[in-house]
Amino acid sequence: MGILTKLLKNTDLVLGMGMILIVAMLILPLPEFILDLGLVIAMASSVIIMLTAVNVKEPLHFSVFPSLLVITTLLRVALSIAATKLILGTGSAGHVIQTFGEFVLGGNFVVGFISFIILMIVQFVVITQGSTRVSEVVARFTLDAMPGKQMAIDADLASGLIDEDQARKRRKEVKGEADFYGAMDGASKFVKGDAIASLLIITVNIIGGFILGFTRGEGDVTTILATYAMLSVGEGMVSQIPALLISSSAGLLVTRNGQETGMAGTMFGQLLNQPRVLTTAGIAMAAFAFIPGFPTIIFLGIGAALVGVSRLSTKNDSIRRLISGEPELIPVTETASEPELPTGPEQVMALVGVDPIEIEIGYSLTKLADVRAGGDLSERVGATRRQIATELGYVMPSVRIRDNAVLKPNEYVIKVRGETIATATAFPNEYLAIDSGTVIQPIAGTPTNEPVFNLPALWIEPGQREMAERNGYTVVEPAAMMTTHLTEVIKTHAAELLSRQETAKLIDNTKALNSAVVAELEPAGISTGDVQKVLQHLLRERVPVRDMVTILETMADFAGRIKDMEQMGELVRAAISRTITRQFADEANAIHCLTLEPPLEHAITDSIQHTAGGVMLALEPKIASQLVQDIQGATDQANASGVQPVLICSTQARLPLRKHLERNGIQIPVMAYNEVSANTEVNFVGQIGLETDLTHSSAA
């Protein structure tokens, strides 16, 4: 028992030593006892493999089968070579081979040899060829179906039907299935080669044995031929019976489809589930009994047995369920009305929902989501979710990735709440070389524009990547381009994507860390919707909401005085000034600001109006137009000098001014004076006035 325990603890070492012994059998001569032992082991292993293949519930539960097939094939070849050495060297090959030869030949080596040839033809043409062909077809269809299965997993994950762990497990199963059937396709070629080798070995044994026996004077021609034919056929039978069992196991294993129980249970369960078929077959067999010359008793017996099984299966459904492994039906003891099937709009309720965010891709881009083909789009999307959580402080909704046959092959669409937000084109077999202004020498490629920042770019071949990088291009993969595009869309529409459900999760997470601040919300009259509005107010300008404790404390402090959530959001901005300032500060902890001249700022403050949609500016059209042009010009000049400016103004003017600029397409951050943290250096790069010309200041 101790030795067995040690062996079980070192199975890898045992397997390695076994392979070394098999290779040694190809070189060293074996005594008859060792050959008999090896042949019995080969037969026992084939029986075990056959029974395991029949009883496993799923093919992946026997995923080691391809490796076992290779090992057993190598073992049979080694034993055949060892047997050939004994047959040709001594004229004997142990008790197992001799007994098989005598049993098959039956006293007539011609009849026995023909029987063996027929067995080999069946093994090679029917079993081996069939198993090989089935393995090829199943492997091809399994690999072709991988992208669709991966997308289905992503869809279930995005819809909340499964969690991350379940999705990871299902992806592993899909990959394991593809690996298994691919390995089966390759391993089946070993069985085919083994059948051909057996035919050659038996031919060599008979011809070589006859020549050697004749030269050694072991008897007349008939005696020599009978002796070596018996040994050769015996050796062939001993090697090919295990091969027949294993190749049959391979065929049974790869032809299983969706069976949740053992093969026998599924087979008998499905046959017994058709009692009419069994009855008809029984009547047909009984009818054959009345044809002159046919064995009447046999046909009548088989027919009666089929009819009896059919009647038994019809009357006792539990027998069929017991055989097939189906669960027993539990009788209902209480009467209840049948639930009415939904009619009218309820029938399509499942179709009216929209995903928070989704990516639809053309069929050429599906390989980017195919893990087997090296696609990592799903993993990159997961990394995007982590990036958004780190930068903005909330967990964005799951992203559904689906193919769309209506799109062009290389086109993809990003949707938010079911509406198209962005459309672009990507080429899965090329790279995007972006001209960020540092290109030394242009290279050849297909001109395009980078979809996120609209920079000029080229689609290039993979072989041009190194040259493009040397010439100053920024080279990205198509999946990286798509996820960068997705990230920008999410940041832009983060406020829209933040639902009350996600807000409730953020509050619950804060409660686990600081329960006191959350406990003050309800007495202060602050609902989840109020918190959502404040967080959306921040996210519209990409202000991180990671400091939920400060945000909720500020809301609780001013809840009794402030009912307008926009004003509450402005107070929260002042409370998290360090977070806001850090967004726009450079490496030297300095921000570069544009300011408003006092007359202009007074004009803006005086034009503020409070409406149902919040605070708005009601400037004169000429002043409003000039303001937009001047700010855009100052921003462009600052960008040209290599800085990203921030427009800074009074607290009262900040929000309505930001709304006014946003409506006119001016993308510049707007901060209030009280939102600049105390330890930050402020560099003024320009000043906006009521005049047409800009006056610049270099004050620091």
Tell me the pLDDT tens digit for each residue of 496-533. 889 898 899 889 888 888 888 888 888 888 999 999 99
- In this structure, the answer to whether residues 490 and 504 fall within a common structural domain is no
Please give the mean pLDDT across all residues of the chain. 79
- In this structure, the answer to whether residues 241 and 278 fall within a common structural domain is no
- In this structure, the answer to whether residues 44 and 137 fall within a common structural domain is yes
362 Cβ contact partners less than 8 Å away, ≥ 6 residues apart? 403, 404, 407, 408, 409, 410, 411, 412
This prediction has a pTM of 0.51
What integer pLDDT is reported at residue 572 of this predicted model?
92
Contacts 24+ apart (CB under 8 A), 563-567: 564/614, 565/530, 565/533, 565/534, 565/537, 566/533, 566/537, 566/614, 566/615, 566/655
- In this structure, the answer to whether residues 357 and 461 fall within a common structural domain is yes
Residue 160: half-sphere exposure toward Cβ, Cα within 13 Å: 3
- In this structure, the answer to whether residues 41 and 102 fall within a common structural domain is yes
Is the distance from CB of 131 to CB of 327 less than 8 angstroms? no
CA distances from 91 to 27, 108, 505, 601 (A): 19, 19, 83, 113
Domain boundary among 575, 596, 628: 575
- In this structure, the answer to whether residues 198 and 280 fall within a common structural domain is no
- Among all chains, which residue has been given the structure tokens 């982590």? 386
CA dihedral 319, 320, 324, 327 (to 10 degrees): -70
Q: Is the dihedral of CA 686, 689, 694, 698 positive or negative?
A: negative
418: left (phi over 0), alpha (psi -120 to 50) or beta: left
Domain contains 77: yes
Domain contains 694: no
Domain contains 383: yes
Domain contains 375: yes
Roughly how many angstroms between the first and final C-alpha of the chain, as a whole number? 85
Q: Where are the alpha helices (DSSP H) in 546-645?
A: 548-558, 565-575, 577-584, 598-606, 621-640
Could you list the residue range(s) of the whole structural domain that residue 516 is in? 498-575
- Give me 699's structure tokens: 């004050």
- In this structure, the answer to whether residues 483 and 503 fall within a common structural domain is no
Question: How many helices and strands in the chain, by DSSP H and E?
Answer: 28, 14
- In this structure, the answer to whether residues 380 and 442 fall within a common structural domain is yes
- In this structure, the answer to whether residues 123 and 227 fall within a common structural domain is yes
- In this structure, the answer to whether residues 304 and 178 fall within a common structural domain is no
Domain contains 335: no
Across the beta sheet with 590-596, the strand order is 670-672, 645-649, 590-596, 681-688
- In this structure, the answer to whether residues 114 and 126 fall within a common structural domain is yes
Domain contains 341: no
Tell me the pLDDT tens digit for each residue of 446-471. 999 989 888 899 999 988 888 888 88
What integer pLDDT is reported at residue 432 of this predicted model?
92
Domain contains 456: yes
Domain contains 14: yes
Domain boundary among 551, 575, 599: 575
Total count of domains within the chain? 5
CA distance 420 to 412: 10
- H or E stretch covering 287: helix 275-288
CATH classification at residue 539: 1.10.8.540
What integer pLDDT is reported at residue 699 of this predicted model?
34
CATH classification at residue 683: 3.40.50.12790
Domain boundary among 244, 261, 278: 261
Residues in the chain, pLDDT under 70: 1-11, 104-113, 124, 126-129, 131, 134, 137-139, 141-149, 151-152, 154-162, 187-192, 195, 210, 214, 217-219, 221, 225-226, 256-273, 313-353, 691-700
- In this structure, the answer to whether residues 102 and 234 fall within a common structural domain is yes
